[in-house]
Amino acid sequence: MKLLRFFTAGSVDDGKSTLIGRLLYDSKSISTDIIETLTKQSKSTGVDTDIDLALLTDGLRAEREQGITIDVAYKYFTTDKRKFIIADTPGHAQYTRNMFTGASNTDLAIILIDARNGVTEQTKRHSIITGTLSIPHILICINKMDLVDYDEEVFEKIKTDYLKFAKPLGLKKVSFLPVSALTGDNVVNSSEKLSWYKGSTLFDFLENIEIEQEDSTKESRFQVQYVIRPQTDELHDYRGYSGSVLSGTFRKGDQISIYPLGSQTTIEKIEKHGIEVNEAHADDPIIIHLSDNLDVSRGSTIVPSNQSIQNDNNIEATICWMDNKSFQNGQKLIFQQNSFTSKAVIKEVIGKINIHSYKYEESDGQIQLNELCKVHIKTAENVSFDSYKHNRKTGAFILINENTNNTVAAGVIL
Q: What's the pLDDT score for residue 6?
A: 86
On whether both 270 and 338 belong to a single domain, the answer is no
On whether both 30 and 178 belong to a single domain, the answer is yes
On whether both 344 and 258 belong to a single domain, the answer is no
Question: CA quadruple 366, 372, 377, 381: dihedral positive or negative?
Answer: positive
Within a domain: residue 375?
yes
Within a domain: residue 213?
no
Q: What is the pLDDT of residues 63-99, one digit of tens each?
A: 334 443 334 456 777 888 888 888 766 544 444 555 5
Q: Is the pLDDT of residue 183 over 60?
A: yes
Question: CA quadruple 141, 146, 151, 157: dihedral positive or negative?
Answer: negative
Nearest to 317 by CA among 404, 410, 217, 201: 410
Q: What's the pLDDT score for residue 64?
A: 39
Q: What is the pLDDT of residues 240-249, one digit of tens each?
A: 999 999 999 9
On whether both 55 and 194 belong to a single domain, the answer is yes
Displacement of CA 332 from its chain's centroid (Å): 26
Q: Beta-strand (E) ranges in 252-284?
A: 255-259, 263-272, 275-277, 279-281
274, 304, 334 — which closes off a domain?
304
Q: Is the pLDDT of residue 232 over 80?
A: no
Q: What percent of the chain has pLDDT over 70?
A: 80
Q: Beta-strand (E) ranges in 115-239?
A: 137-143, 173-178, 221-223, 226-228
Cβ 331 vs Cβ 345: under 8 Å: yes
183, 208, 233 — which closes off a domain?
208
On whether both 159 and 200 belong to a single domain, the answer is yes
Within a domain: residue 216?
no
On whether both 274 and 321 belong to a single domain, the answer is no
Residues found in the chain: 414
253: CB partners within 8 A, 6+ apart: 266, 267
User: In this structure, which amino acid lies at residue 396?
Assistant: A
Work out the pLDDT band at 353, boundaries 50, 70, 90: confident
On whether both 201 and 107 belong to a single domain, the answer is yes
Q: Is the pLDDT of residue 374 over 80?
A: yes
Total domains in the fold of the chain? 3
Within a domain: residue 215?
no
CA distance 271 to 285: 9
Within a domain: residue 408?
yes
Within a domain: residue 153?
yes
Cα distances from 74 to residues 20, 69, 84, 121, in angstroms, run 10, 12, 10, 25
On whether both 317 and 195 belong to a single domain, the answer is no
Nearest to 358 by CA among 318, 301, 398: 318
Q: What is the pLDDT of residues 156-171, one digit of tens each?
A: 999 999 999 888 887 8
Residue 260: which CATH number? Answer: 2.40.30.10
Range of 333's domain? 310-413
Q: Vertex 101, ends 100 and 103: CA angle to 5°?
A: 70
Cβ 38 vs Cβ 57: under 8 Å: no
Mean predicted lDDT score pLDDT of the chain: 83
On whether both 40 and 147 belong to a single domain, the answer is yes
Q: What is the pLDDT of residues 266-282, one digit of tens each?
A: 999 999 998 999 999 98
Beta bridge partners of 3: 83
Work out the pLDDT band at 48, boundaries 50, 70, 90: low
Cβ 224 vs Cβ 243: under 8 Å: yes
Q: Using CA atoms in the order 256, 258, 263, 266, what is the torsion angle rounded to 10 degrees?
A: -30
Within a domain: residue 214?
no
Work out the pLDDT band at 139, boundaries 50, 70, 90: very high
On whether both 299 and 318 belong to a single domain, the answer is no
Q: What is the pLDDT of residues 110-135, one digit of tens each?
A: 999 999 999 988 888 888 888 888 88
On whether both 231 and 339 belong to a single domain, the answer is no
On whether both 103 and 234 belong to a single domain, the answer is no
Residue 56: which CATH number? Answer: 3.40.50.300
Q: What's the pLDDT score for residue 9?
A: 82
Q: What's the pLDDT score for residue 32?
A: 57
Q: Is the pLDDT of residue 62 over 50?
A: no
318: CB partners within 8 A, 6+ apart: 132, 353, 372, 373, 374, 375, 411, 412, 414
CA distance 216 to 13: 41
141, 174, 208 — which closes off a domain?
208
Q: Is the pLDDT of residue 11 over 50?
A: yes
